[in-house]
Amino acid sequence: MAPDALWPLGAAALAAFGVSAAATRALCSPGLALLHIMDHPNERSLHQTPVPRTGGLGVLAGLAAGGLVALLLGYLPEAATWLAAALALVGAISFLDDRAEVPRRWRLLAHLGAAGLLMAGGLLWTDLDLPWGRWTLPAGLAVVLTGLYVVWMVNLYNFMDGMDGFAGGMAVFGFGALAVLGWQGGDPAFAGAAAVIAAAAAGFLTSNFPPARIFLGDTGSSSLGLLAAGLSLLGAGRGLFPLWAAWLAFSPFIVDATWTLLRRLRHGERLWEAHRSHHYQRLVLAGWGHRKTLVRSYVLMAACAATAVAGAPMAPGDQGWLLALWAGVYVLIHLRVGLAERAAAGGAR
């Protein structure tokens, strides 16, 4: 790709970072009464004192600034209008939920509506593209799977937003990987969109790294989950990378949330009730603390992002071995979490 495409993308990302950092810092202040919504500790929380939970508005402000710069410079993907409409719907219902809890059915309807908007914009899961083969999905199944995928990504990102610096860091590494994949695939508009999201998340992290002065809230976490689903579908649809590469880039969240969901289902637990059974929560409670758990998580996120970028152009056989290797790594992580819990329980006796 021509090097002269770098400066517009850099300008858009810089605008996203600067506006997000400034807006997030302003939202930490109690002076903005309407936007100063506190997150009070509950049985799911890892924090001990109330913290503002409107940092997602700072991220959205950064996205708006970066998107405007990209638009003015002519580097906005064609599906941006549909992405923006879906983002507005999810962001609005999530902000209402941050202010006063919205019934689950209305949130689900909004998430399904956002999935419908993405599909109307051509963002559809049409192929099952794996190292072992590629299969075209029937139209009806493609619609169902796309809806389920979007709704799950929106909610799993929300589930995983429970530790200082965690969800923001996943956005930096995950969307950073998508930006590189888009650049390698010769699509500067897609690369710019992913870079703007990563930069906006990085701006938020300036006030969210532990000890956090502000949280994303549902507004931020649900919005980032929607964008992860939307951009992964967009990139795969444009042939920039196979969909599994995006899954690998975001696998620290996808694997933990999915594994925990299945575990709770097996134990007959109510999925909508608050809990602290995610792997990262269990490590914090086992005595690792926020910073140690976060630093180890960042190493995992960086490794997943790097291998997603490196693995996308590999031969199918090598891609298969790569995914098998990561499956083994996640099994080892699960075992390591259990070992940390047993060591903490033994030390307490």
Three-state DSSP class for 74? coil
- In angstroms, the Cα distances linking 116 to 23, 85, 119, 124 are 30, 11, 5, 10
Question: What pLDDT shows up at residue 180?
Answer: 97
Question: pTM above the 0.85 mark?
Answer: yes
Question: What pLDDT shows up at residue 303?
Answer: 98
- For 66-78, the pLDDT digits (tens) are 999 999 988 888 8
Spatial separation of the C-alpha atoms in residues 99 and 297, rounded to whole Å: 30
> Contact 224/218 with Cβ under 8 angstroms?
no
- For 128-182, the pLDDT digits (tens) are 888 888 899 999 999 999 999 999 999 999 989 888 899 999 999 999 999 999 9
Spatial separation of the C-alpha atoms in residues 178 and 246, rounded to whole Å: 7
Question: What pLDDT shows up at residue 138?
Answer: 95
Question: What pLDDT shows up at residue 29?
Answer: 81
Question: What pLDDT shows up at residue 277?
Answer: 80
Question: What pLDDT shows up at residue 46?
Answer: 54
For 277-314, b/e burial (b = at least 16 CB within 10 A) is ebbbbbbbbbebebeebbeebbebbbebbebbbebbee
Question: What pLDDT shows up at residue 64?
Answer: 97
Question: What pLDDT shows up at residue 289?
Answer: 85
Residues of the chain with pLDDT under 50: none
Return the closest-CA partner of residue 212 out of 167, 149, 250, 254. Answer: 167
Kindly provide the residue ranges of all beta strands, DSSP E only, lying in 27-101, ordered along the sequence. 38-39, 51-52
Question: What pLDDT shows up at residue 162?
Answer: 83
Question: What pLDDT shows up at residue 78?
Answer: 83
Burial of residue 184, with CB atoms counted within 10 A of its CB: 0-12 exposed, 13-18 middle, 19 or more buried: middle
Spatial separation of the C-alpha atoms in residues 202 and 208, rounded to whole Å: 9
